[in-house]
């Protein structure tokens, strides 16, 4: 009886997972149909719900970017493309669209890449350097073991030390990338920069639409950021969206 119960539970979970996948695919298709009919606000809302439910993918964000661009929301479109690049750093089509939008928003390359270490992080993810380092470490250990057993000791030691050096070099890239500060993209034109995390705070300036800014700290629906000119202040999460995580529910206030 216990085996039957476990089998039934496993089958139920499998069916539920398949239903969730099917549901996500159907919702994605429906959102794309909304784009084709020109209902961009509802399409964007549908893409947002999918992303928040865990159905993130570079394709979803690429379509989101097209809908936002057609609506005239170039900052949101650039954010969606940058989020797609985070999920698939090797997608050249996304990279080309990022550069096209950057130019349309009249932004310098430095204004969408304020964290050089983030480039190292994307490079490491693109080429799976964590797995490369692990594989080289295994090779080094095997070569050391072979040398100790007297199997080509000199050549074995050379291979072992070379593989270890390469493993350390490969591991250093994602390690460096992990020190990059989180960043966020400005999705609204004229987004205000204020002096406190409060709706009643005094404005100290504005952020450029599409600009990517480091996130220094968070407080509720507010992010403390630093713009390309070095000005620091608080921005509302509805105006500035993080690139290192899925979008959150629309902030209140």
CA 121, CA 215: separation in Å to the nearest integer? 17
CA 55, CA 46: separation in Å to the nearest integer? 11
The pLDDT tens digits for 198-214 are 999 999 999 999 999 99
Same fold yes or no, 2-106 and 183-242? no
What pLDDT is attached to residue 176?
95
Could you give the percent of the chain with pLDDT greater than 70? 90
| Average pLDDT of the residues of the chain | 89
pTM of the model as a whole: 0.85
Domain ranges within the chain, ordered by starting residue: 2-106, 121-177, 183-242
The pLDDT tens digits for 138-169 are 999 999 999 888 887 888 899 999 999 999 99
The pLDDT tens digits for 164-201 are 999 999 999 999 999 999 999 999 999 999 999 999 99
Kindly state which CATH superfamily the domain 183-242 is placed in. SH3 Domains (2.30.30.40)
What value does the mean pLDDT take over residues 1-12? 47
The pLDDT tens digits for 24-78 are 789 999 999 999 999 999 999 999 999 999 999 999 999 999 999 999 999 999 9
What pLDDT is attached to residue 249?
76
Q: In this structure, are residues 63 and 96 in contact, taking their beta carbons and an 8 Å threshold?
A: no
- pLDDT of 22 over the 60 cut: no
What pLDDT is attached to residue 21?
47
Classify domain 2-106 by CATH architecture. Answer: Alpha Horseshoe (1.25)
For residue 5, what pLDDT band results from cuts at 50, 70 and 90? very low
């Amino acid at each position: 009886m216990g085996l039957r119960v476990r089998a039934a539970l496993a089958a139920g979970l499998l069916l539920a997972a398949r239903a969730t996948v099917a549901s996500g695919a159907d919702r994605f298709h429906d959102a794309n149909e909304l784009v084709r009919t020109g209902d961009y606000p509802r399409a964007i809302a549908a893409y947002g719900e999918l992303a928040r439910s865990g159905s993130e993918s570079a394709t979803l964000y690429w379509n989101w970017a097209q809908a936002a661009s057609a609506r005239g929301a170039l900052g949101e479109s650039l954010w969606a493309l940058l989020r797609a690049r985070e999920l698939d750093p090797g997608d050249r089509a996304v990279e080309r669209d990022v550069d096209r939008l950057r130019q349309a928003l009249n932004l310098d390359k430095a204004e969408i890449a304020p964290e050089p270490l983030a480039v190292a992080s994307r490079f490491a993810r693109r080429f799976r350097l964590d797995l490369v380092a692990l594989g080289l470490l295994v090779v080094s250990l095997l070569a050391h073991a072979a040398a100790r057993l007297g199997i080509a000791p000199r050549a074995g030691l050379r291979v072992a030390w070379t593989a270890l050096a390469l493993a350390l070099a490969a591991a250093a890239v994602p390690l460096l990338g992990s020190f990059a500060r989180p960043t966020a993209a400005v999705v609204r034109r004229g987004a205000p920069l204020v002096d406190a995390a409060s709706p009643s705070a005094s404005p100290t300036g504005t952020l450029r639409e599409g600009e990517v800014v480091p996130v220094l700290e968070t407080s509720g629906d507010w992010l403390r950021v630093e713009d390309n000119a070095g000005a620091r202040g608080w921005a509302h999460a509805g105006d500035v969206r993080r690139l290192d995580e899925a979008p959150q529910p629309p902030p209140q206030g």
